[in-house]
């Protein structure tokens, strides 16, 4: 009898909490969630030398954050550093770091902890794309894709998450891709790395939730192609539904998602509908839809840079 009462109690608690969580979401559509203040927060951005990384740095500079900029390109990163200072950043620290190398990540992370302090917002943005069909892509390039686009997330979390847990305060941001949600012709290694990044970030969100670490937030960003040079030459058959995104727009949405502590950000919004269709459409119908949307041919004109611009 007592076990039945306990089960009934657990069910009622579950239903009550579920109802409250749904009401909370519905209320957020009427009363937008207040954006958090990131002034003084130590924000680390990987791949900050150009493209999204640079634009993210400038946005957080304007918000008064302390910036820690990581990139393999010293000259480009110093330029971002200077621009961030001009944008109003209180403090900016630039470091050369190849995020694909575990030992280098750990070494530079230790340097950051000693010279700057505990990172409270970690933005894993660095990435590369080979843009080659699977059988035409050299093994070393595929390994590099996985090292930069996925494994670097493991090493940076290992380096900075312990302090976040100790302080019960932090924010983990994964800049992934729509190619981390849906397989794309001509992007096998890239998709593999981005799927892995999404799975890892989502798993860590669940792990932290189970540990009741309510002060540590997660944001997973999955945009369609962005005009940064990384996917230069790629085209979209239906720009109204799947536009090549403007970098400034994308960064505004990303920062807004971080400030509102949003878990998932897909851009454009059509991706949410695409994921809904993927969950129940027959495989053949899904392939017909992908063909109709031109997904099979988005990489046909690819001439982009191997490193994220």
3-state secondary structure at position 6: helix
Which is the catalytic residue, given 29, 106, 157, 190? 190
**Would you state the torsion angle of the CA atoms of residues 75, 78, 82, 84, taken in this order, to the nearest 10 degrees?**
120
Residue 264 known to be catalytic: no
3-state secondary structure at position 284: helix
Active-site residue list: 190
């Amino acid at each position: 009898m007592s076990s039945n009462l306990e089960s009934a109690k657990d069910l009622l608690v579950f239903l009550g909490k579920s109802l409250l969580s749904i009401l909370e979401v519905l209320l957020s559509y009427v009363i937008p969630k207040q954006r958090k203040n990131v002034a003084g927060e130590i924000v680390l951005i990987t791949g900050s030398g150009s493209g999204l990384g640079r634009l993210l740095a400038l946005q957080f500079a304007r918000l008064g954050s302390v910036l820690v900029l990581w990139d393999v390109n010293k000259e480009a990163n110093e330029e971002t550093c200077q621009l961030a200072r001009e944008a109003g950043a209180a403090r900016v620290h630039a470091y050369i770091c190849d995020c694909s190398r575990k030992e280098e990540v750990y070494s530079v992370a230790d340097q950051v902890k000693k010279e700057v302090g505990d990172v409270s917002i970690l933005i894993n943005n660095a990435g590369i794309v080979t843009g080659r069909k699977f059988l035409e892509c050299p093994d070393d390039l595929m390994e590099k894709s996985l090292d930069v686009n996925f494994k670097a997330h493991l090493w940076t979390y290992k380096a900075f998450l312990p302090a976040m847990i100790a302080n019960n305060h932090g924010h983990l941001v994964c800049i992934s891709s729509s190619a981390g949600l849906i397989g794309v012709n001509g992007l096998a290694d890239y998709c593999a790395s981005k799927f892995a990044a999404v799975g890892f970030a989502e798993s860590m969100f669940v792990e932290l939730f189970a540990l009741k670490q309510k002060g540590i937030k997660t944001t997973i960003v999955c945009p369609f192609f962005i005009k940064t040079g990384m996917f230069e030459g790629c085209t979209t058959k239906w720009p109204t539904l799947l536009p090549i995104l403007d970098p400034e727009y994308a960064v505004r949405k990303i920062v807004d998602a971080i400030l509102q502590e949003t878990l998932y950000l897909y851009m454009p919004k059509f991706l949410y509908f695409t994921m809904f269709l993927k969950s129940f459409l027959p495989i053949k119908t899904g392939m017909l839809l992908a063909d109709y949307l031109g997904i099979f041919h988005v990489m046909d004109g690819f001439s982009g840079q191997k490193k994220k611009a």
